Structure 1
Amino acid sequence: MKDKKTGLIQTLIGAIILVIGIVLCVNTYIVKGNKAYAFSLLVTILGIVILIAGLYRTFSKKERKPVDAKVIAQAALCAALCYVGATFIKIDIPVGTERTMFHFGNVFCVLAALLIGGEWGGLSGAIGMTISDLSTAYVTSAPKTFILKLCIGLIVGFVAHKLFHLSKEHSAKYVTVATVVSSICGMAFNIVADPVVGYFYKTYLLGVPQDLAKTLAKIGAITTSVNAVIAVIVASIIYLALRPAMKKLNMLRDL
């Protein structure tokens, strides 16, 4: 009963934030492409996420288990690493008035999903890299970043823990294959989704000219592919190195 009451409050808060976001979008659309419009889109997305979470909590018949403090701490650490990877370990590539970049943010998003599951891993990547966008010249990309990084985490987590059951006991070879395949699935999605979503997002929501948006999408496809290869290799190496020690210390989440 208490959980449903909390869910109703969360649903109400989500609905209010969503309405505020929509109102802000309408009021800033006329000058689309600026920071205010990007912030309004982000507020709208956050409202939708909170609303869906509240509805799920309200109508779900499953008993909710308290979240382990270790998971929250690990998620916060991964979010911080995603922020550092996207903000400081990067190479910017100017394209006209816009820009794209090579970065290490995806490495820690994939690693988070492997370590703590798709939901927490996706949120870590989404929050960490969205904050990075909001605090740098990529502020108008923040809403797109939030959605895509969340999806990366969910996909990697689903393949790793729902299909391969990676957190269970397996042979070293099985763990290696499962880790690499899971990472590839998440990054394969990003290689396709990032330039495609980026094109429509910049053209129809931010008002970027179509020719420039196409150029950005083509260059973005290259940088995204390079970022994907780096993420698969580095995240897999780090996870395989951390896994035995974390399992020994009982810090590896059982999913």
Structure 2
Amino acid sequence: MKVKRNFENPTVNLAVTGLMAACVFVATYFFNIKIPVGGTDKTMIGFANVFCILSGLLLGPVSGGLAAGIGSCLFDLLGGWASSAPVTLVTKFLMAFFCGLIAWGGDGTAKKLSRVIVAAVTGSLSYCAMYLFYSWAKLALVGSAWQAIQIQLAVKAPATLINAAIADVIGIPLFYVLRGALKRSGLSYR
């Protein structure tokens, strides 16, 4: 399978992937509202997923996935969630990977609005499912009572769905703005 990437120059692709990882980290760190859900567990509503989805749309599945996963993992390592950093690396990678895979399917570029919408929604909802499953499994494995699990998931589910909606509503138009600017500058978008 040939890796599809938007920036043909590997150095430029690496630099833009790093830039998007930094955007994911900054959005996660500075633009969030923390919601305590009992004990030491917490969740957030914020703009990180906007940049994860944007990474998949702009960079394609692999580079976009790396940007989303690495940026989110770095936040976990530095922001007090180090124990969940490996899971975050994988789940955020997969969110952007699925988004990029669908958006870039067929002709190798994200062009059609309908394809971009399906890609963004699929990426966001796949992350919601993975995050909620991980939250449930973590609580179940430590022996939490079913009622405690239900209460925590009752808080986490709406927060993660709000994050998904924010990611898609902001990420899709932002993608088209950035895509147009990249095209006009001659940097990208065949």
TM-score by length of 1: 0.66
Aligned to 2:133: 196
* Corresponding letter in the other structure for 1:125: A
Aligned to 1:220: 156
User: 1:78-227, aligned counterparts within 5 Å?
Assistant: 78-97=20-39, 98-163=41-106, 165-167=108-110, 175-204=112-141, 207=142, 209-211=144-146, 212-227=148-163
Q: Select the structure with the greater relative contact order (CA < 8 A; seq sep ≥ 6).
A: 2
Separation in 2 of the partners of 1:229 and 1:161? 21
Separation in 2 of the partners of 1:159 and 1:183? 9
Contact map agreement 2:55 2:96 (CA 8 A) in 1: yes
Structure 1 residues 140 and 218: CA distance shift in structure 2, 3 A: farther
Structure 1 residues 130 and 176: CA distance shift in structure 2, 3 A: same
Render the CA deviation track for 1:14-50: whole Å, top value 9, x for unaligned. Answer: xxxxxxxxxxxxxxxxxxxxxxxxxxxxxxxxxxxxx
SS in 2 for 1:162: coil
- Which among 165, 168, 171 is matched to residue 232 of structure 1? 168
* Corresponding letter in the other structure for 2:132: P
Render the CA deviation track for 1:70-128: whole Å, top value 9, x for unaligned. Answer: 11111001000100111110000011111111021111011011111111111111111
SS in 1 for 2:104: helix
Structure 1 residues 109 and 115: CA distance shift in structure 2, 3 A: same
Aligned to 2:5: none
Contact map agreement 2:179 2:189 (CA 8 A) in 1: no
Which moved further from structure 2: 175-184 or 111-120? Answer: 175-184
> Looking at CA atoms only, which structure, 1 or 2, has the larger radius of gyration?
1
Contact map agreement 2:182 2:189 (CA 8 A) in 1: no
Alpha-carbon deviation of 1:141?
2.1
Q: What 5-or-longer segments of structure 2 have no aligned partner?
A: 3-7
SS in 1 for 2:43: strand
Contact map agreement 1:89 1:103 (CA 8 A) in 2: yes
Alpha-carbon deviation of 1:164?
6.4
Separation in 2 of the partners of 1:149 and 1:176? 23
Which moved further from structure 2: 212-221 or 151-160? Answer: 212-221
Contact map agreement 1:114 1:156 (CA 8 A) in 2: yes
Separation in 1 of the partners of 2:131 and 2:145? 16
* Corresponding letter in the other structure for 1:195: L
Structure 1 residues 163 and 196: CA distance shift in structure 2, 3 A: farther
Q: How many residues align?
A: 185
Separation in 2 of the partners of 1:228 and 1:200? 21
Contact map agreement 1:195 1:218 (CA 8 A) in 2: no
Aligned to 2:10: 68
Separation in 1 of the partners of 2:160 and 2:134? 12
Aligned to 1:252: 188
Separation in 2 of the partners of 1:182 and 1:121? 13
Taking only the aligned residue pairs, the percentage that are identical comes to 27
